[in-house]
A and B are shown apart, each in its own frame.
Chain A
Amino acid sequence: MLKFMLRFRGGIHPRERKEATENKPIEVAPLPSRVYLPLSQHLGAPSRAVVKKGDRVFTGSVIGEPGGAVSVPTHSSISGTVADVVDLPHPLTGRLTTTVIIESDGNDTMVTTIQEQHTADLTPQQIIDAVRNAGIVGLGGAAFPTFFKLMSPKDKPVDTLIINGCECEPYLTADHRLMLEKPAEIVEGVSFLARALSVQNVIIAIEDNKQNAIEAIQENVAGKNFRVVKLKTKYPQGAEKQLIKACLNREVPSGGLPADVGCIVQNVGTSLAVRNAARFNRPLYERVVTITGPGVKEPKNLWVRVGTPVRDLIEFCGGYNGQPRKIINGGPMMGIALSSDQAPVLKGTSGILVFNQAEEPSEQDCIRCARCIQVCPMGLSPTRLNYHIRAKRFTAAKNEHLLDCIECGCCSYVCPAKIRLVHNFKFGKAEIARLKV
């Protein structure tokens, strides 16, 4: 094992607060009586509904077909009847999105196509097809269709696969538990990914605050030429570009993709989903979610069917601990605040975080302390970008690399004037897209 001394620039050390769930084995959440499945749970084109009200579906049935080249199918996560196909506000974007609502029959009957496959002679293309048909997206949060990352263009040869086991967001422990409880399965998934990409060089990167996960994975890579790499605990260590920099000292060019420097990054949870797809033809209809935060009575790590309403999960965790003020889909640094606890868990939901107090400190004027510049892992000057955006100088903001911002939140976190920098950057990016700057 190598402990890399390389590191990325900037970053922060927020309190980890993983104690509540890091030692709790993953429990299986009860089967939901109803699931809400938006047909846009990934970046790229939404899937198209192929079921209608009253249709009978099984666990793993396709309910939405890919709606474009960069798109994946959506599957039912329970067996039962389609209660409705309606446009509902998307839990994360708020935009009206076609959503399939399924009423459970309580039997959890699997589709017949889920069964053990011959995997020894799977070709890369077959693995990629299996990954696509299983509806797999990046489970670290960004939810980019995984098959698309595996289809690297000919002019950008990929030599290294990095498996992201950093889980650098505070509070979240889903990936950590998965690495402890399913290390062999994860490693098997990594083998499929490596085969799909035809790469020899495989790195499994884990932060040094998860020593037991490092050991668990290490035991399971015996006989394989995968390298387990221990990285310093620092946020955002798990951000794709920062991870590549820390593991390989390669910098993804501004505006580029990891493939530009010969890398592909996949999350450990995604690796497990790939294994299930390649080996059992099992679609992605469940995942591990950390339900935590001061507003939850008994924080837990749960196997959750995609589409399960958040409220069901919180009830299974003993209910709210007080009056919830903010419910977050994801981690505290990059997660998205939900407007209702009826919102479903999506493929990309790594955690549900409940806060009873969500103070919104009022913004003060910037005092130019430059903490935002010191922590920005992308080398941006957040305070300058913020002034540009507030003055509607979108061209200037673009020229100073606003579009390179990864929205990790380090700048907003450290800002002593409590300026909502990331909020303004999201607005600035949207304006640049809208005005075609």
Chain B
Amino acid sequence: MDETKPTLLVTSSPHITSPVTVSKLMWAVVIALLPTFAGSIYFYGFKALFITVLSIASALLFDALGQRLFGRKITVFDGSAALTGLLLGFNLPPNVPWWIPVVGSAFATIVAKQFFGGLGHNFINPALAGRAFLVASWPTQMTTTWLAPRGGIIPALPPTAVNICTDAVTSATPLNVLKQGSKLVLPNCDPQLLYQQLESWSTLKRLFLGTTGGCIGETSALLLLIGGILLIATKVIDWRIPLCYLLTVAALALILPGHKAGLLNYILFHLLSGGLMLGAFYMATDYVTSPLTARGRIIFGIGCGVLTMLIRLWGGYPEGVCYSILLMNVATPLIDRLTPPRVFGTRSKK
């Protein structure tokens, strides 16, 4: 060979790769969440911006710190830590003390992610792990620091409901009202009136648009849906998990006993309230902690839906999205083992 020429590169096929990279996928999810972020700044003002940015900044910092600690390559700008911080921020009430997102991000990135090997090796969703850690450690700060959204109200119910309810109305989220139920009703009042108010079209509309109090990023189902559909259309996420998750919640709302003022209203109430949309589209679909195969993802979505409804209806917490996804994260290796794809030229197992 001609000595003056630089050597040719000899590597294994294929010699072309798709333009999709890990970093692009992560930033795509972040971009899909921007409408929601803009919405949360609109609804809660500077406070939402502050908490979310602080959460992202801490996630980046602690992720880098964790990578440094374990002698890994520093890859904090691959978008995954930013996404973790963003999702954690979205899972916090808007009026939490400033140190809550900092501590939560530290737990999410260092304990849930870097302890287990960094991106790709964590067995539970870091943002949800951070949230669960915060709820368990500082329940007061995590459940009482709501703010009234712009153009909306902090309580779950419109002011007209005050004459049937106690003061609990002023502090509770819609799911909390559903959980507390008749305990909130004034003596001599029919609890059914409460449920009618709770599941009324006006409440549902507020849940859909985002003018009901809640965590920073979970208020507006509409904005979350826009980003979620965008992610499905661009094939960043698989439709199976969110669809199966939402359908399961709807189906269980239909068949399980509950305080149903109206069937459709009740189903919509369950779909639109709490962290379901945020969880179903953005957290249950986390690649690292969800199953690999199509069948596995269907099982995963259904499992999340079942656990969410069990917790909402009979569990100790008003909302079950966070724990249901975490529990299904833990079940993921098992699901993967049980749902391998069918190898070409082999009979499918009956």
Contact = CB atoms under 8 A, between A and B. Distances in A.
Interface of A: 8-9, 12, 14, 170, 241, 245, 251-256, 323-328, 330, 332-342, 353, 355, 358, 360-361, 364-371, 373-374, 376-381, 383-384, 400-401, 404, 407, 409, 412-418, 420, 422-423, 426
Contacts of A14: 16, 18
A328 B24 CA distance: 29
Given A14-B16, A336-B13, A416-B22, A254 B341 contact: no
B342 interface: yes
Given A327-B8, A339-B10, A368 B25 contact: no
Given A252-B345, A404-B344, A367 B288 contact: yes
Nearest to A342: B1
Residue of A368, A384, A404 with most chain B CB atoms under a 10 A cut-off: A368
Contacts of B120: 364-368, 417
Nearest to A253: B345
B14 A251 contact: no
Q: Which 3 A-B pairs have the closest CB atoms?
A: A409-B14, A423-B12, A365-B120
A254 B344 contact: yes
B111 interface: no
A291 to B, nearest CB: 16
Contacts of A325: 6, 8-9
Nearest to B72: A365
Given A325-B8, A358-B11, A364-B78, 19 more contacts: A8-B344, A9-B344, A241-B345, A253-B346, A254-B345, A255-B345, A326-B9, A332-B13, A365-B118, A366-B120, A367-B22, A370-B287, A373-B292, A404-B345, A413-B14, A414-B20, A416-B25, A417-B22, A422-B14
B248 to A, nearest CB: 21
Nearest to A418: B17
Consensus secondary structure, chain A interface: loop
Contacts of A334: 13-14
A370 B293 contact: yes
A330 B15 CA distance: 11
A158 to B, nearest CB: 18
B12 A414 contact: no
Contacts of B331: none
A338 B9 CA distance: 8
Given A366-B120, A368-B287, A420 B12 contact: yes
Interface in B260-294: 287-290, 292-294
Interface in B3-62: 6-18, 20-22, 24-25
Contact of A355 (B15, B22, B345): B15
Contacts of A8: 344
Contacts of B11: 326, 337, 358, 360, 420, 423
A416 B343 contact: no
B8 A365 contact: no
A368 B288 contact: yes
Contacts of B117: 365
Contacts of A330: 13
Contacts of B289: 368
Nearest to A260: B345
A377 B344 contact: yes
Nearest to A360: B11
Nearest to A333: B14
A328 B119 contact: no
A379 B341 contact: yes
Contacts, number: 166
Contacts of B18: 12, 14, 413-414, 416
Nearest to B22: A416
Contacts of A342: 1
13 contacts: A254-B345, A256-B345, A337-B9, A338-B10, A358-B11, A368-B287, A373-B292, A373-B341, A378-B344, A378-B345, A413-B18, A414-B18, A423-B12
B239 to A, nearest CB: 13
B187 interface: no
A339 B22 contact: no
Contacts of B20: 371, 414, 416
Contacts of B315: none
Contacts of B13: 328, 330, 332-337, 407, 409, 412, 422
A104 B340 CA distance: 57
B15 A358 contact: yes
Contact of B292 (A337, A368, A423): A368
B121 interface: yes
A380 to B, nearest CB: 6
Contact of B343 (A254, A353, A360, A415): A254
Contacts of B1: 339-340, 342
A333 B15 CA distance: 6
Nearest to B290: A368
B18 to A, nearest CB: 5
Contacts of A380: 341, 343
B272 to A, nearest CB: 29
A229 B281 CA distance: 41
A9 B348 CA distance: 14
B14 A360 contact: no
A39 B14 CA distance: 26
A365 B12 contact: no
Nearest to A250: B345
Given A365-B121, A367-B288, A339 B345 contact: no
B262 to A, nearest CB: 40
Nearest to B291: A370
A368 B292 CA distance: 7
A261 B158 CA distance: 69
